[in-house]
């Protein structure tokens, strides 16, 4: 009876996880998240990956596999989850809007590579970001870097969209920021329902972008064909 109850609880938890519930725009990190160095994290993760593969029955003495635990550990810490480290947060370069540009600026088709925090499978898509200057402008490449920084962590797409907007609002000193992300989740495309055609669209609108006409203008810009040959 106890085992049955445990299975029922686990099944309920799995259903909850698949619902993409999230409590806030903050990534859930423990207070001691940075008490050990990156090198220590790599060593611990390497040992854990070794145990996972060993448990699955893989021969870790094989030439093709012997380096896998360390490669995965370094990739986790230095690459795909590097956005967890606050010291790597890009420092946005802002400048005075001396040319008095008063319309929205849109940076579209920013590549998104992230990782679903429920199954640790890739999220791949595009982000479209816009703002209306309140006296400051930001270097274009910084917008890409902000997207990349928040994408490089275990994520849910809703939170990622909000974090991008909030980071740009803070940097620019204005609420007039918007972000739309269209992405494929391999946890949907490659497992479970295995729907390879579907994608997920999320949006976050601040300030003037909450007005229907301004939001419509932004969405129209996204639809423009800007393919260059």
Tens of pLDDT, residue by residue over 163-211, are: 999 999 999 999 999 999 999 999 999 998 999 999 999 999 999 999 9
Catalytic residue check, 212: no
Catalytic residue check, 157: yes
Q: According to the CATH classification, is domain 93-223 in 3.40.50.40?
A: no
Q: pTM of this prediction? A: 0.87
Pair of tokens at residue 190: 């490659």
Indicate which residue of 116, 155, 179, 204 is catalytic. 116
Catalytic residue check, 20: no
- Thinking of the domain 35-80, which architecture would CATH place it in? Orthogonal Bundle (1.10)
Catalytic residue check, 54: no
Catalytic residue check, 40: no
Identify which of 21, 148, 26 has the alpha carbon closest to the alpha carbon of residue 80: 148
Indicate which residue of 128, 157, 163, 204 is catalytic. 157
DSSP state of 76: I
Q: Kindly tell me the sign of the dihedral angle through the C-alpha atoms of 28, 33, 126, 116.
A: negative
- 171 close to 213: Cβ distance less than 8 angstroms: no
Indicate which residue of 20, 119, 169, 175 is catalytic. 119
- 221 close to 130: Cβ distance less than 8 angstroms: yes
Q: Whole-angstrom distance between the N-terminal and C-terminal Cα of the chain?
A: 66
Helix axes 68-75 and 38-55, enclosed angle (nearest 10): 130
Domain ranges, ordered by start, for the chain:
35-80, 93-223
């Amino acid at each position: 009876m106890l085992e049955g109850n445990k299975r029922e609880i686990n099944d309920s938890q799995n259903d909850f996880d698949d619902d993409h519930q999230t409590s806030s725009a903050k990534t859930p990190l423990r207070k001691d998240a940075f008490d050990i160095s990156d090198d220590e994290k790599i060593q611990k993760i390497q040992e854990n990956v070794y145990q996972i593969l060993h448990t699955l029955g893989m021969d870790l003495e094989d030439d093709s596999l012997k380096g896998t635990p360390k490669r995965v550990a370094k990739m986790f810490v230095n690459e795909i989850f590097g956005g967890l480290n606050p010291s790597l947060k890009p420092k946005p370069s802002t400048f005075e809007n001396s040319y008095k540009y008063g319309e929205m600026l849109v940076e579209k088709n920013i590549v998104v590579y992230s990782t679903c925090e429920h199954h640790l499978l890739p999220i791949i898509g595009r982000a479209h970001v816009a703002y209306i200057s309140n006296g400051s402008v930001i270097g274009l490449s910084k917008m890409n870097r902000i997207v990349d920084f928040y994408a490089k962590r275990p994520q849910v797409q809703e939170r990622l969209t909000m974090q991008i907007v909030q980071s740009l609002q803070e940097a620019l000193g204005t609420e007039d920021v918007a972000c739309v992300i269209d992405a494929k989740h391999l946890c949907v495309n490659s497992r479970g329902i295995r729907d390879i055609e579907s994608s997920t669209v999320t949006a976050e609108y601040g300030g003037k972008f909450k007005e229907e006409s301004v939001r419509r203008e932004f969405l129209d810009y996204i639809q423009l064909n800007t393919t260059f040959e």
